[in-house]
């Protein structure tokens, strides 16, 4: 089992920034690719970003490219999502997820094995 705990969410004005963290425990963190997903009220869960076990490969959904940056520190068992130039449409609960590195990166939530409970991000206009 991998336990994932997100933090760093909150209320911010449009144009502001937040950095989300996801702390992992239970198994060797570097054995997993990591993803961030979000779900807004009344909407389906949406892929946001993913990062390979080494940090060398990253994916982003088009709507956050140039504004969000995913990174990881394997020595701290933590993955981050730096979010800049936030927009009201970024409002959602953000979840991190883990997928075994041998399976490669994925933009599909159902292909991730472990999930955190989520952290709320609210962007006011």
User: For 7-25, what is the mean pLDDT?
Assistant: 98
Q: If DSSP codes are grouped into helix, strand and coil, which group holds residue 109?
A: helix
- Residue 12 and residue 1: Cα distance in Å, rounded? 33
Q: Give percent of the chain with pLDDT exceeding 90.
A: 98
**CA 47 vs CA 27, 38, 122: distances in Å:** 24, 7, 17
Q: Render 65-87 in DSSP notation, one character per residue.
A: TTTEEEEEEGGGTEEEEEE-S--
- Residues whose CB falls within 8 Å of the CB of residue 79, separated by 6 or more in sequence, listed in order: 21, 22, 24, 34, 36, 51, 70, 71, 72, 96
Digit-coded pLDDT (tens) for 29-87: 999 999 999 999 999 999 999 999 999 999 999 999 999 999 999 999 999 999 999 99
């Amino acid at each position: 089992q991998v336990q994932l705990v997100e933090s760093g969410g909150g209320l911010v004005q449009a144009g502001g920034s937040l950095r989300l963290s996801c702390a992992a425990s239970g198994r060797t963190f570097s054995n997993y690719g990591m993803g961030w997903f979000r779900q807004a009220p009344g909407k389906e869960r949406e892929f946001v970003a993913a990062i390979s076990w080494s940090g060398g490969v990253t994916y982003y959904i088009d709507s956050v490219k140039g504004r969000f940056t995913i990174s990881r520190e394997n020595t701290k068992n933590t993955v981050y999502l730096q979010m800049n130039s936030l927009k009201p449409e970024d409002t959602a609960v953000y979840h991190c997820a883990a997928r075994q590195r041998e399976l490669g990166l994925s933009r599909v939530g159902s292909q991730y094995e472990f999930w955190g409970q989520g952290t709320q991000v609210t962007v006011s206009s």
